[in-house]
Amino acid sequence: MRTTISRKATMGFLAVLLVGAIASAAAAALDQDELSRRLTGARAGRTRAVPTKTPPAPVRDTFLLGRSVQGRPIRAVEAGRRHRPIILVVGCIHGNEPAGIAVARDLATDPAPRHLLLWLVPEVNPDGVAAGTRQNARGVDLNRNFPWGWQPIGHPGDLHYSGPRPLSEPESRIASALILRIRPDVTIWFHQHQDVVDLSGGSAAIERRYARLTGMPIARLPRYPGSAAGWQDHRLPGTTAFVVELPAGSLDGRGVERFSDAVLRLL
């Protein structure tokens, strides 16, 4: 009789334990579900709480970069938002090829773009512009004075005189220092008078896009030692510097807008 009671008691005790275990497991499952919901809600709450990044405010500043051989100021305008991409436009490096000055100045006076940052240098050779000469005041072709592939060419006043050494001229030093400081994604050097976009050695896709936007033909012009575009393309891999040979003569208002609008739509 004592044995029978003991067995019943044992079975009852086990049943109680089993029911308790099931209840505990159910409660634990409920706790896990609740915990999961809370974590999900917390994650969702954190996601909603992340503030939207405010884009940088538009800027428009003018800088004195330096002075030419004869002391004329070389200025740059920064316009747009201080983020990538950055486009540098140089209106004139050869003083007798000044049509691009109007393009750079038009961009400098237009509303600051919101999708990129512009750096605009209307004249990097103001002495040549004043004299109507290709070279600077020391008779140096600045587009043969940059370090990449530099070679001694000619004598002072010769058409392509490259100077006594690379970056011998204050104007080319100013341009190279600016490029190394801002590291533009794209640099456009305006020249004349061939009416063509040059495949200058950077991104052919970008060069071809500018040609399409302006309706200009595209060609591969000769590679000259010491050129500004060639120097940047080799000094800053991943960036693109290229030459736009504007047509001869000055640009009318529609022509200026044609080339400046293409800059804004390029990237």
The answer on pLDDT for 68 being more than 50 is yes
Residues ≥6 apart with Cβ < 8 Å to 228: 90, 93, 142, 143, 146, 172, 175, 176, 187, 189, 241
- 58 pLDDT more than 90: no
What was the pLDDT predicted at 56? 79
Q: What is the pLDDT of residue 26?
A: 43
Share of the chain above pLDDT 90, in %: 78
Q: Which position has the higher pLDDT, 55 or 40?
A: 55
| pLDDT tens-digit series, residues 75-88 | 999 999 999 999 99
Closest CA to 122 of 139, 106, 110, 144: 106
Please state whether beta strands 86-90 and 117-121 pair in parallel, antiparallel, or not at all (unpaired). Answer: parallel
Residue written as token pair 């990129």: 116
Among 5-14, 49-58, 165-174, name the one with the lowest average pLDDT. Answer: 5-14
- How many CB atoms within 10 Å of residue 184? 23
pLDDT value, residue 157: 86
Nearest to 63 by CA among 52, 72, 51, 76: 76
- The rounded mean pLDDT for the chain is 86
For residue 118, the model assigns a pLDDT of 98
- Cα separation, 125 vs 119, whole angstroms: 16
Summarised one tens digit per residue, pLDDT across range 152-166 is: 999 998 999 999 999
Higher pLDDT, 57 or 84: 84
| pLDDT at site 57 | 84
Specify the pLDDT at position 178: 98
The Cα-based distances of 25 to 18, 19, 31, 105 in angstroms read: 10, 10, 10, 77
Residue type, 176: S
Task: Identify the three-state secondary structure at position 51.
Answer: coil
Is the pLDDT at 44 greater than 70? The verdict is no
pLDDT for 41 beyond 70: no
Whether pLDDT at 42 is above 70: no
Tens digits of per-residue pLDDT, 204-252?
Answer: 999 999 999 999 999 999 999 999 999 999 999 999 999 999 999 999 9
**pLDDT per residue over 95-146, tens digit each?**
999 999 999 999 999 999 999 999 999 999 999 999 999 999 999 999 999 9
Q: What is the rounded radius of gyration, in angstroms, for the C-alpha atoms of the chain? A: 34
Q: What confidence score (pLDDT) does residue 53 get?
A: 65
